[in-house]
Structure 1
Amino acid sequence: MTKQVNRQFTVAAPNKVWTTYITYVWTLEGWLYVAVAIDLFSRQVVGWAINDHMRTSLCLDALQMAFCRRNPKPGLLHHSDRGSQYASKEYRIHLDIMSMEQSMSRKGNCWDNSPTERFFRSLKHEQLNYEKFRTEEAAKLSIIDYLAFYNGKRTHSKLGYKSPLEFEREFQRKTA
């Protein structure tokens, strides 16, 4: 682990740096855990997983979705906190197989992963905090609905008030 994000959250192109994190959501059936992978270039959620546990496999599911959807070139910098899921041998093996370099936040420093923390703040404050979920399925549907909104319609000042998808499309047009 030689490269670090070091709070450099501005990236020149897609699929250069992904950040990852986990949060939890309460339902009347119990806790759900949400893992995401976000492309720092556009703040687009490129992979996600939802389950009733927060084992390494949850994070691997989000990573695998992102990898299959984006097919990044070798050398992508993968940033996370120091959670046991991301530090596990199993996860590190998958990063090696995918030719990704691992970066981790400094111990106890949430600011090192602030864009992903900010995404979860938006998810909770704009969607989840206004609902009491009777079932895990209802919570999953609400989260998936928000992911579609966030990627496709939610504007960001950092992106010139464009959505993540719009920002990436504009970049692709300019570089094609």
Structure 2
Amino acid sequence: MSEPQLDRQVCRRLAVPRLEPWGTGVIFHSDRGCQYTSTQYARLADGPRIRLSVGRKGQCGDNAVAESFFATIKTEMLD
């Protein structure tokens, strides 16, 4: 087994149990970073479980709501 295949299997074994409570159709939204737009990343998330979503090019506001939401959670958890 090649190293990339092994990496994919390890990632799936770690990720899939964490998705179980959410069922199928989980949407993973991210910015357009190269790690999120790579072919390898898309293959890892392939299937009915995870739908990848990225913000539009040049539209920094696409992530604004999510960034604000998580900033609030972090702030409230630290207080």
TM-score for both structures, normalised by structure 2:
0.56
> Shift in Å at residue 87 of structure 1?
0.3
Q: Which residue of 1 aligns with 2:39?
A: 89
Q: Which residue of 2 aligns with 1:108?
A: 58
Judging by fraction of residues, say which structure has more strand: 1
Among the aligned pairs, what percent are the same residue? 34
Structure 1 counterpart of 2:44, which letter? H
* Higher relative contact order (CA closer than 8 Å, sequence separation 6+): 2
Judging by fraction of residues, say which structure has more helix: 2
Structure 2 counterpart of 1:92, which letter? A
> Shift in Å at residue 122 of structure 1?
6.5
Q: Which runs of 5+ in 1 are unaligned?
A: 1-59, 127-145, 155-176
Q: 1:105 to 1:116 in 2, by over 3 A?
A: same
1:79 to 23, 29, 44: 29
Structure 2 CA distance for aligned equivalents of residues 108 and 122 of structure 1: 26
Q: Which runs of 5+ in 2 are unaligned?
A: 1-10
Instruction: Say what the alpha-carbon RMSD is for the aligned residues.
Output: 3.2
**How many positions carry a matched residue from both structures?**
65
TM-score for both structures, normalised by structure 1:
0.30
Report the 3-state secondary structure (helix = DSSP H, G, I; strand = E; otherwise coil) of the residue aligned with 2:57: coil
